[in-house]
């Protein structure tokens, strides 16, 4: 059996030094609330509870890496041998630091020293909700299982003829997805696709494949190196779908979690594979009723202090035991 590591991106958006660095590089002509809103950097100790969820439901994880910029969680146990803090300076090109754009930082996680060939990547607001085994993420042949969902309920195919129009009409957050599909279509010489997006939860990768994509698409990546999120961003789905097209990964389509599915889960323990809800309070309400394998408690500009208090209470209830990463 091969080792499987887990990688997180994390930052403390309330840290004084972090805020000073961010303020120094903000360009009001380039940034807006979607690229620079406080929800992009807000920390409500989700990482602490996500690590507790790992120990509770996926204790087969070999090692955990937390990628951050000159920070560490206030609760972190520096003597912990299973969890390592990785500074941006270790993996990112010097000219990109400081970087506040997760879509750029994600490209370089395969540079983490000692990272296993098989690894899982997650945001700090993603959690394990039930007992999960390695074959949830990798096939018997060691291929990553790529979980996707239909992009934004897209009603028709994406083609070389309509892609520019679709891009112009897509909301800020989705432009990076369309940009990624454009790159994939050009590389693989495909004229039309059904666009998907990642399921917004933990995803599986091979380090060698990840590095290969960075090399194959390098000229285009170099045109998208913004410090903050921008319309030039390229979504991480590029890495996943490239591997699927190459035959080194397997795609699994996740159905949208409908009201009927939620009701069946609540009444009959129907299994929900992966849960993502746009607004925090909605996701918290759903989580109090069902038990998904994986879930994300998404932050948005609409989240308020009461949402954060409720989130903390819920996470403390689900994950009361400290992990080895805590002092």
Reduced to 3 states (helix: H, G, I; strand: E, B; else coil), residue 93 is coil
Q: pLDDT band for position 44 (50/70/90)?
A: confident
Mean pLDDT of the residues in the chain: 88
Q: pLDDT band for position 1 (50/70/90)?
A: confident
Assigned domain for 325 exists? no
Assigned domain for 217 exists? yes
Domain total of the chain: 1
Rounded Cα gap, residues 313 and 226, in angstroms = 36
Torsion of CA 240, 245, 249, 250, to 10 degrees: 100
Assigned domain for 168 exists? yes
Assigned domain for 314 exists? yes
**pLDDT surpasses 70 at 8:** yes
Assigned domain for 327 exists? no
Q: Give the model's pLDDT for residue 33.
A: 52
**For the segment 266-281, what is each residue's pLDDT rounded down to a tens digit?**
555 667 778 777 777 7
Q: Could you list the residue range(s) of the whole structural domain that residue 241 is in?
A: 4-318
Assigned domain for 169 exists? yes
Assigned domain for 326 exists? no
Q: Domain containing 241 — which CATH number?
A: 3.90.550.10
Tell me if 124 sits within 8 A of 6, measured CB to CB. no
Tell me if 3 sits within 8 A of 137, measured CB to CB. no
| H-run or E-run covering 172 | helix 172-187
Q: Give the model's pLDDT for residue 302.
A: 62
**For the segment 56-75, what is each residue's pLDDT rounded down to a tens digit?**
999 999 999 999 999 999 99
Q: Give the model's pLDDT for residue 29.
A: 43
Q: pLDDT band for position 240 (50/70/90)?
A: very high
DSSP tag of 302: T
Task: Return the higher-pLDDT residue of 264 and 123.
Answer: 123
Reduced to 3 states (helix: H, G, I; strand: E, B; else coil), residue 79 is coil
**pLDDT surpasses 90 at 127:** yes
Helices (H) and strands (E) in the chain, counts: 13, 13
Reduced to 3 states (helix: H, G, I; strand: E, B; else coil), residue 81 is coil
**pLDDT surpasses 50 at 166:** yes
Q: pLDDT band for position 189 (50/70/90)?
A: very high
Rounded Cα gap, residues 58 and 202, in angstroms = 12
Rounded Cα gap, residues 287 and 295, in angstroms = 8
Assigned domain for 99 exists? yes
Q: pLDDT band for position 304 (50/70/90)?
A: confident
Tell me if 120 sits within 8 A of 204, measured CB to CB. yes
Q: Which of 129, 136, 141, 112 is nearest to 243 (CA)?
A: 141
């Amino acid at each position: 059996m091969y080792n499987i590591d887990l990688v997180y991106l994390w930052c403390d958006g309330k840290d004084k030094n972090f805020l000073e660095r961010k303020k120094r590089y903000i360009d009001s002509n380039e940034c807006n609330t979607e690229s620079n809103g406080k929800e992009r950097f807000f920390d409500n100790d989700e990482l602490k509870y996500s690590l507790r969820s790992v120990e509770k439901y996926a204790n087969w994880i070999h090692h955990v890496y937390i990628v951050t910029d000159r920070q560490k969680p206030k609760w972190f146990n520096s003597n912990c041998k299973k969890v390592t803090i990785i500074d941006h300076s270790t993996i990112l090109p010097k000219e990109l630091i400081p970087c506040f754009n997760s879509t750029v930082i994600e490209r370089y996680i395969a540079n983490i020293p000692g990272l296993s060939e098989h690894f899982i990547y997650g945001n700090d607001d993603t959690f394990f909700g039930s007992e999960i085994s390695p074959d949830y993420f990798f096939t018997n042949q060691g291929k990553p299982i790529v979980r996707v969902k239909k992009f934004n309920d897209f009603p028709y195919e994406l083609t070389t003829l309509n892609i520019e129009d679709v891009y112009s009409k897509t909301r800020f957050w989705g432009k990076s997805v369309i940009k990624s599909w454009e790159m994939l279509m050009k590389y693989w010489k495909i004229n039309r696709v059904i666009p998907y997006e990642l399921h917004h939860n933990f995803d599986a990768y091979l380090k060698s494949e990840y590095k290969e994509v960075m090399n194959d698409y390098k000229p285009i990546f170099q045109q998208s190196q913004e410090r903050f999120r921008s319309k030039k961003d390229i979504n991480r789905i590029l890495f996943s779908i490239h591997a699927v097209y190459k035959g080194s990964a397997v795609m699994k389509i996740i159905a949208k979690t409908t009201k009927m599915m939620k009701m069946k889960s609540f009444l009959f323990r129907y299994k929900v594979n992966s849960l993502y809800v746009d607004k925090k309070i909605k996701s918290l309400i759903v989580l109090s009723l069902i038990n998904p394998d994986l879930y994300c408690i998404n932050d948005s500009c609409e989240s308020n202090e009461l949402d954060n208090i409720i989130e903390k209470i819920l996470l403390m209830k689900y994950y009361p035991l400290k992990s080895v990463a805590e002092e």
